Amino acid sequence: MLYFIYAMEGMYQGLHGIYDYGCYNCDSYEDACTLGAELSHDVIDSYIRPEDDYYTPEDYCEDNGYDEWRDEYQNDYYDALDEVMDDNLFYELYPLKEGVTLDDYLEWTKENMPPRDFIERYCRQLTEDDM
């Protein structure tokens, strides 16, 4: 099934014009969700320094009752940071309307319009049958 995936970061949700999107052929809703999460993660990596904006080493020390940072905490800190980043993933999935093709998507990209335009013109809302 063809899905339009609109991915951004959860805190700002594309407010600053930083997002990614695309039209993808996915075998299942779960595959589309996995791809949406990957795209959102890439958006976060492209402009946010998660260790500064989400969860600092100081935050880790405070949460774990440590007085000061030690290099031996590094692996556990990055595991905790990954969990915080995962909590900030944000994406929207839209199945394409019947008859809409990848060629329609490619033509639309030439118009240089915002993603919401594609969603309004060519997509439909998810139904339980899609999931």
Q: What is the pTM of this model?
A: 0.82
Q: What pLDDT sits at residue 50?
A: 66
pLDDT of residue 85: 83
Count Cβ atoms below 10 Å from residue 112 Cβ, excluding itself: 7
Report whether pLDDT(15) > 80. no
Q: Which of 17-21, 37-41, 53-57, 127-131 has the highest mean pLDDT?
A: 37-41
Q: Structural domain of residue 88, as residue ranges?
A: 2-130
> Which comes out higher in pLDDT, residue 106 or 18?
106
Burial class (CB in 10 A: 0-12, 13-18, 19+), 92: buried
Number of domains in the chain: 1
Sequence length of the chain is: 131
Q: Which ranges of the chain does DSSP label H, i.e. alpha helix?
A: 29-47, 50-53, 57-64, 74-87, 102-109, 115-122
Could you tell me the sign of the dihedral formed by the alpha carbons of 128, 41, 7, 102, in that order?
Answer: negative
Question: Where is average pLDDT lowest: 1-15, 55-69, 111-125?
Answer: 1-15
- Whether 126 and 95 have beta carbons less than 8 Å apart is answered as yes
